[in-house]
Structure 1
Amino acid sequence: MAAVSVALCTRNGARYLPAQVQSICTQDPLPREIVLSDDGSSDDSVAVVRQAMAACGVASSVALTVFENKPALGVTRNFEQAIRACRHELIALSDQDDVWHPGRLARMAARFEAQPELLLLHTDARLVDGALRPLGDTLFHALEVQPAELEAIAQGRAFDVFLRRNLVTGATTMFRRSLLASALPFSDEWVHDEWLAALAAATGRMDVLPEALIDYRQHGSNQIGAKRPTVADKLAKAMEARGSKHMQRWRRAQALLDRLLALRGLVPEPIVSAQRGKVAHQRFRAELPASRLARLLPVLREAASGRYERFGRGKQAIAQDLLERG
């Protein structure tokens, strides 16, 4: 089975790190190394990781590489630093506050061994509170993941799903180091896990295990968390001010297209063409007028073209563009 590196990123996570490190260091097989990148912690996060590894008795068998960033790099650059330093074929991403289930590494590494073309694999997660008490929900349920989306990914059409939205959460992700040839450097416009997923879906095979293989803590201070939105939440979101989010989405779409064009020969032309369509759709949404009334006909024409359904959340996105305050 291929050797695994763990990219563990921390920032003031001393409270949660003992449980996470123990869950990593009791996997069978063990990872070969942990690359710890600490982003300017003011607590003793790095010392806690060292102590937890020593307590597990793996300090001599699992290599530890440590980066301590002062000043902090931010989430994406912190993960990029850790990932660049990983030396083994498979790289598992790790947040500081989760807990891996027994057998997680073996289950995921086996899928890579069975599918040599596989570049990235992600899974579901069980949502728990700060004390690891189950919240009675899963990550995929909170994200409203649909069976048709999982089926499309399983059939090798992950990029079609990605054109509409990202389903990959870094804490659940493992990928092949060869993916970095196309993914590095990470885009300034993207979060690291979404960027890796986009490049995996565009340049090769991405897959999903619809099993909860980690406990994903929701404790109020997550940098990125998960909560299933209610109808009231969706309505409130649709009614909020347009702000700069559509411009940001347009820039993200363009940044991905630029990378795909730079990778010509590795990316099938239909994927490049589809991303061009995504850029055009995001530009359309970004340039909609401030007046709700003036938006009505353009939005209805775009809806009739099918582009809201292909490149976004369909009716939900249409409602947003019609209702948002200018």
Structure 2
Amino acid sequence: MREPVSVCLALYNGEKYITEQIDSILSQLDHIEDELIIIDDCSSDSSVEIINSYNSSYIHLYQNDRNMGYIKTFEKAICISKNSIVFLSDHDDIWVEGRLNKMYDKLQEADNWLVCSNFETFNNKGESKVRFKTKLIQSKPEKFTRNILSIFKGNIAYFGCTMAFRKELKNYIIPFPDYIDAHDLWISMTGNVLKKVVHLEDITILHRIHDNNTSFVQRDFYKKLYTRFLFLKTLIDAYKRKRMNNIQIKKK
């Protein structure tokens, strides 16, 4: 029997899409201790009412008392999560059938702490859209440095909605650095620094593209330059946390 999982979902004005996403997640939860943690970031639509209409013991709804933004909302959800495996989820995507088990099984191999998968994108008309041409390929130990370089180049498909990780990683990623503008790149950077990330080549997410998405935003030259600076800071901080945690482990 598999270990229980925690699914962390950040919600903001998701009334149009949240039902389809929740249904795709609940269909894959079958452990009595599984949990779907939903944190509403002060939605002004009927998102909360939709969540409350579900009669599921898996769902645990929390509401922010002020708008915190999706990065801090995900951080809060991860802190609340109690299970061995943590999945991240946006409110407007759809989980592909078998996603949970495929990613869970990948985390059982070797000493993997973080798994990232591929995804497909579609619009509100159901049309397939190619928004990120680079696909993840199976990682090998000698490829971690290459993955980090690809983060700097901006040509590796690391997105939070495609991630799951073991609870041990929380000691290294929480709290999120205050300066980051992408929690998924912080998590993936840390996973590669620790040499505990693995790529799953399967498509496990249908990622919806619409006007309110924050993903795939085009950036000008100066914004790209500043982003690379932030990547360097995350790399340095990831190594610092690795060293600090190793010291604490040795003391124990």
Instruction: State the TM-score, normalized to the length of structure 1.
Output: 0.67
Q: Name the SS of the counterpart of 1:76 in structure 2.
A: helix
Residue from 214, 233, 240 that aligns with 1:261: 240
Q: CA deviation at 1:127?
A: 1.2
Which protein is bigger by CA-based radius of gyration? Answer: 1
Q: 1:105 to 1:262 in 2, by over 3 A?
A: closer
Post-superposition offset of 1:248? 4.3
AA aligned opposite 1:32: D
1:187 partner letter:
P
| CA–CA distance in structure 2, aligned partners of residues 113 and 247 of structure 1 | 37
Distance, in Å, in 1 between the alignment partners of 2:35 and 2:137 is 31
**Which 5+ residue runs of structure 1 have no aligned equivalent?**
227-232, 268-326
Q: How many residues align?
A: 239
Specify which structure has the bigger relative contact order, considering alpha-carbon pairs within 8 angstroms and separated by 6 or more residues. 2
Instruction: Kindly indicate whether residue 34 of structure 2 is the aligned counterpart of residue 32 of structure 1.
Output: yes
Structure 2: gaps spanning 5 or more residues: 247-252
What RMSD in Å do the two structures reach over aligned CA positions? 2.4
Conserved 8 A contact 2:124-2:208: yes
Aligned equivalent of 2:173 = 183
User: Compared with structure 1, are the counterparts of its residues 258 and 110 closer, same or farther at alpha carbon in structure 2 (3 Å cutoff)?
Assistant: closer
Is 1:89 aligned to residue 90 of structure 2? no
Alpha-carbon spacing, 1:8–1:156, altered in 2? closer, same or farther (3 Å): farther
Whether the 8 Å contact between 2:123 and 2:129 is mirrored in structure 1 is: no
**Offset of residue 170 of structure 1:** 0.8
**Higher-helix-fraction structure:** 1
Judging changes above 3 Å, is the alpha-carbon distance between structure 1 residues 38 and 265 closer, same or farther for their aligned structure 2 residues?
A: closer
Give the 3-state SS of the residue equivalent to 1:256 in structure 2. helix
Matched to 1:79, the amino acid is: F
Taking structure 1 as reference, are residues 107 and 246 closer, same or farther at Cα in structure 2, changes over 3 Å only?
same
Specify the code of the residue in structure 1 equivalent to 2:203. Answer: A
Q: Cα–Cα, structure 1 residues 198 and 155, in superposed 2: closer, same or farther, change >3 Å?
A: same
Q: Answer whether contact 1:93 1:171 (CA < 8 A) is retained.
A: yes
Q: Deviations over 1:12-58 (max 9, x none)?
A: 0011001000000111545700111111100121221232x32xxxx
1:247 and 1:126 map into 2 onto residues whose CA distance is 28
Pairing 1:228-307 to 2, within 5 Å after superposition: 242-264=221-243
2:128 matched residue in structure 1: 135
Q: Residues 163, 13 of structure 1: CA spacing in aligned structure 2 closer, same or farther, 3 A cutoff?
A: same
Per-residue deviation, 1:159? 3.6
Secondary structure of the residue aligned to 2:193 is: helix
Task: State the distance in 2 between where 1:159 and 1:189 align.
Answer: 23
Aligned to 2:249: none
Report SS of the residue matched to 1:189: coil
Indicate the residue corresponding to 1:99 in structure 2: 94
